[in-house]
């Protein structure tokens, strides 16, 4: 089973890249972040024609997440939107069960600047997510949490750790929030394998960030223990970042043995 996550930074703009990537990679599940559209305007028909069932939790202009599930990979059941008992108008979560795997697609808050109101929201949001997943993991032992975490968990995940020390995406409270998810029994699939140095999943559009590989690894696939045991690969696919008018994020992909 191949599952992936990709922050597309507007699905309207990126649909051709998404369709090409689905055709080339044939994933069972692709989780999208930052669709930036309401259901009205979401390309259900185009994705259906490409062989994927789409489930969307969207809003106008900002945020928005979607689950794309390949027809033939099994039905999507128990579809769920948003963090329960967490009052939040921002559409950041969609979950569903596919082929016995609980897929939680998440677009974590950016946080803007350490100490800002948005930063406080980010930390509260992570606390609510963690509390919810603790319960979910009892119900769904085979669980994958994937998406744009907006956290670089380690200095290895930052192109210039000294420059970013204590800054947004790298601050200690954010890294502690990431670790709190690991403490639930989840594993960063990327670190299950030996990886080359300086692998990132996001590069700033400015200053030729991609060409100079000035990036951060902030998109992650966390797996519960039974899924980590089945994981045979975890990587970042840089190819779509090289296309014309790319998203600033690249897809992250794992494969699970049957």
Contact set for DNA, span 53-72 (CB under 7 A): 60-62
Would you list the DSSP string of 104-137? EEEE----SSTTSHHHHHHHHHHHHHHHHHHHHH
Does 174 bind DNA (CB under 7 A)? Our answer is no
Taking CB under 7 A as the criterion, the residue among 80, 118, 175, 238 binding DNA is: 118
Closest separation in Å from C-beta 216 to DNA: 5
Residues making up the chain, counted from first to last: 258
Phi and psi, residue 218, nearest 5°:
-125, -5
Taking CB under 7 A as the criterion, the residue among 5, 249, 252, 253 binding DNA is: 249
- Partnered with residue 104 across adjacent β-strands are 95, 145
Sign of CA dihedral 146, 152, 153, 159: positive
Taking CB under 7 A as the criterion, the residue among 7, 57, 189, 224 binding DNA is: 7
Of 77, 186, 199, the C-alpha closest to 142 is 186
Of 52, 82, 107, 219, catalytic: 107
Nearer to DNA, 170 or 222 (CB): 170
Query: Which residues form the interface with DNA (CB under 7 A)?
Result: 7, 9-10, 12-13, 34, 36, 60-62, 109-110, 112-113, 118, 148, 150, 168-169, 202, 204-207, 216, 218, 245, 248-249
């Amino acid at each position: 089973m191949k599952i992936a996550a990709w922050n597309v930074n507007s699905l309207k703009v990126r649909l051709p890249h998404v369709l090409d990537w689905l055709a080339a990679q044939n994933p069972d599940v692709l989780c999208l972040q930052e669709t930036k559209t309401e259901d009205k305007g979401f390309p259900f028909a185009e994705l259906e024609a490409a062989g994927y069932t789409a489930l969307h939790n969207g809003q106008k202009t900002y945020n928005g997440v979607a689950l794309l599930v390949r027809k033939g990979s099994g039905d999507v059941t128990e579809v769920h939107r948003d963090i329960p008992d967490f009052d939040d108008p921002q559409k950041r979560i969609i979950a569903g069960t596919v082929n016995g795997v609980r897929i939680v697609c998440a677009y974590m808050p950016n946080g803007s600047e350490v100490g800002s109101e948005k930063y406080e929201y980010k930390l509260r949001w992570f606390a609510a997510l963690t509390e919810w997943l603790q319960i979910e993991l009892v119900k769904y032992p085979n669980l994958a949490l994937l998406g744009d975490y907006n956290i670089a968990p380690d200095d290895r995940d930052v192109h210039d750790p000294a420059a970013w020390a204590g800054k947004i995406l790298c601050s200690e409270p954010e890294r502690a929030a990431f670790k709190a998810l690991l403490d639930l029994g989840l594993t960063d699939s990327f670190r299950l394998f030996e990886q080359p140095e300086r692998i990132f999943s996001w590069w700033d559009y400015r200053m030729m960030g991609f060409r100079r590989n000035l990036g951060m690894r902030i998109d992650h696939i966390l797996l519960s223990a039974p899924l980590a045991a089945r994981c045979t690969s975890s990587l970042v696919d840089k190819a779509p970042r090289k296309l014309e008018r790319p998203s600033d994020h690249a897809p992250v992909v794992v494969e699970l043995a049957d």
